[in-house]
Chain A
């Protein structure tokens, strides 16, 4: 069983936040250092050994304070400032494991360190466009999702990848309500998941991912609206049929499964033609695929994006 029940969550060990984040340092120093780090309970250290990833933008970064205090993370509350305010309700849970299942040759439960460690951490400066018409420019740190997923050897029947977020109603204030069906589930088509733009993020602004941004492990799909980026992922499943996803199930006419950023397809209640970049005064035009059309438009060749919105 993959979703932790409330009784299980207490068994999680709260250990050093920098354990997996300082993994390169730990690797270099060896097992002795690891033991020391676990014992020392040191404060979160900046991520080290991060290389500059591709697809970067030269646009000015959104301020860190805005990117970490203006969030949609409904598990931690339904207002933009709730996630940051309630972040301490969701302590870094270690060991953090992810259940891998479905159409793959090597399913199983894997620790976050083992999921990330085989790959170089990259900083990816991405535009992030929320379905609510605001946007940011955010320096994520993570590994390409495709690289992380290949080790599980998805089969030819794996047409979609489903991501399930943490379910802990005893500590997550949003999950004490039934405003959304918990846990939060998002999904991508397999070619979207394997696309080099798609990032499995563990960090932000050079440091480990803050709780309110989806710690310790989240999805970043920069050409899609932000809600596609599942946070605090505990399960990844390869499926043959299209998974049910939270917002799409709840309001299918407002939140499409694809949710590709598209200025030509309005949300039911508002236009998607423009956006407010956080920190800017005037609205700016929204770009098709959030400006990543050169990289991803080909994925949807022959598809009617008005229908498959």
Chain B
């Protein structure tokens, strides 16, 4: 199952590469590249956040083993998204990049999400879990919820007028986080599975 999901996660990137080489990115290819990478970073993050609710709903334990890989894919797409902005759009103009991050709230919000993802990706190895200890590691990795909220907000804030697509992502995120809130509530009846 893992190799299959791995391949699926690579498809958007493969498609971008293929389209890029075949003049398929439209009139403004750099903007298209950055937006598409950002879209997939957020989607992968939502898919990763869907793992636990899915496991709990279906009882399929094996889904849980995909979680790290999906989270790392979210990070990978976010990394490419940020790298494309810095490298191709701003062309390593660090002064402007710094000023833009400080000045534009939606970029600051997006960067905050990215910083969280860096922290999570760099502590995703078994070695790091051991070194941090399970409790601290779990606490740190709860910040993925903040990353999801910030990333969705970043998307919402950059949109000019048609906020329906970002709102769609926000609804899904709300369902995924809402599920966890409900699960965390003390079970009121004996039928509550625990």
Contacts and interface: CB of A to CB of B under 8 A. Distances in A.
B91 A69 contact: no
A87 interface: no
Contacts of B103: 266, 271
B161 interface: yes
B91 A282 contact: yes
A279 B23 CA distance: 11
A278 B27 contact: yes
A78 B161 contact: yes
A269 interface: yes
Contacts of A159: none
Contact of A69 (B27, B90, B99, B163): B27
B27 A80 contact: yes
Interface in A249-274: 250, 266, 269-271, 273
Contacts of A78: 161-162
B30 interface: yes
A282 B93 CA distance: 11
A281 B160 CA distance: 24
B24 to A, nearest CB: 12
Interface in B154-184: 157-158, 160-163
Contact of A180 (B89, B91, B157, B161): B161
A69 B100 contact: no
A66 interface: yes
B104 A81 contact: no
Task: Count chain A CB atoms within 10 A of each CB in B27, B157, B158, B162 and give the residue with the most.
Answer: B27
B28 A80 contact: yes
B65 to A, nearest CB: 37
Interface string B39-61: 00000000000000000000000
Contacts of B28: 70, 80, 134, 276, 278
A78 B166 CA distance: 14
Nearest to A82: B162
Contact of B31 (A81, A134, A250, A271): A134
B106 interface: yes
Contacts of A179: 161-163
A269 B158 contact: yes
B26 interface: yes
Interface of B: 26-28, 30-31, 89-91, 96, 99-100, 103-106, 157-158, 160-163
6 closest residue pairs by CB, A with B:
A70-B27, A66-B27, A78-B162, A278-B27, A179-B161, A179-B162
27 contacts: A63-B27, A65-B27, A69-B26, A70-B26, A70-B27, A70-B28, A74-B161, A78-B161, A79-B162, A80-B27, A132-B160, A177-B162, A179-B161, A180-B161, A266-B103, A269-B106, A269-B157, A270-B104, A271-B99, A271-B100, A271-B103, A273-B96, A276-B28, A276-B31, A278-B27, A282-B91, A283-B91
Given A276-B31, A283-B89, 8 more contacts: A69-B26, A69-B27, A74-B161, A78-B161, A79-B162, A81-B26, A134-B28, A270-B100
